[in-house]
Amino acid sequence: MPAHVPFTGSYAAADVEFLLQPIALEDTPVALKEALIQSGRKHYSQMLSHESLPAEDYLALFHEALLDNKAKLARHALILASRIAESRPHGITLVSLARAGTPIGVVLKHLLRQYFNQEVAHYSVSIIRDVGLDRNALRHILKSHGPETLVFVDGWTGKGVISKQLADSLAVFSHTDGVNIAPQLFVLADLSGTAAVAASSEDYLIPSCILNATVSGLVSRTVYDPARLAADDFHACVFYQQFAGHDVSAYFVGQVLSAAAALWQQGFDQTSPQLDQAHLQQQTQRCIDWLRQHYQIRQTHLIKPGIGEATRALLRREARLLLLKDPDHLETRHLRWLAKTRAIPLATHAELPYRAVALIKELS
């Protein structure tokens, strides 16, 4: 493996190390990207669409969401930190899944040190549907940390695709490298019942989902193109250093940590909820099956359930429709803004188990 140069994005060096290779990559327009993905000519991980700074009124929605939900997020993060500390008696190595998991991993690193007396390493690595977890990144981590210490972190689950991809990747890694790592995913909100540990199953607005690189260390979604990378390279990313003046990555973490400090002083209840995973899995599958039939959708990948997944879809994909459980709920203000500015139609289904679902356009 080539000499490794630590890369931390816009975060402090002590917060996280991205095991990603920054590259220059030409933008692919969203419509072209969608056509290439759905025709099978390119995998989504080979392309990035142009990422622009958020409009001022959209950024205001991020700040409103952070004000409204930082206490809930902080409570869930403290619960998750407590469960991590309990489950890893021989040391903790946080491995957040870039990029939605990265801000949550940074928060957890601070909470574990401040309230649970745990000094932990934190890496952020790439995991890509159909491609898997970056095995070179995993090998790099295992040079310094025992496999029993690894804790995989993400923000939320949607359909459970990444949970399954993680399990599949680690099964392959056990076969190829002879190292067994528990395929446990730790998340704030487990909508699909597929995470090993979660603080909640509620479909609520995790404020970091509203933004892209400017809340994730100025790092893009991860990229994997075998034609551009050597066999021993980490997966790639684009580093948006030009957005530094608009970066709220550290601000987001600071706001959540302040809310956590207030909760800790009040003596909040650290009891973990008992989530009915079987019920959540069945609920997810029933909803997906109904949506496929009702909207005549051939590919499950075109259904993006939950606020977080719907937001990502509207920001990065060619959306066909935004479905809302309640058309006026405060948690979906930013989604309604995105739908309006992109001329994406809305439909209301009060029986949805999620606050929101986005459907991607199915191209012929």
Specify the pLDDT at position 3: 53
Full-model pTM: 0.95
AA letter at 315: L
Q: Which residue is it, tokens 């990559």?
A: 25
Specify the pLDDT at position 228: 84
- DSSP assignments along 210-268, one per residue: G-SGGGTTTBPSPB--TTTS-TTPPPEE-B-GGGGGG--HHHHHHHHHHHHHHHHHHT-
Kind plus residue range of the DSSP H or E element containing 124: strand 121-128
- Domains recognised in the chain with CATH numbers: 17-266 (3.40.50.2300), 277-360 (3.30.1330.30)
Specify the pLDDT at position 1: 42
**Alpha helix stretches (DSSP H) within the chain:** 30-39, 56-87, 101-116, 135-142, 161-177, 249-266, 277-294, 307-316, 333-341
**Could you give the CA distance from residue 320 to residue 362 in angstroms, rounded to a whole number?**
8
AA letter at 127: I
Question: Residue 291 has which token pair?
Answer: 């949506």
Name the stretches of the chain with pLDDT < 50: 1-2
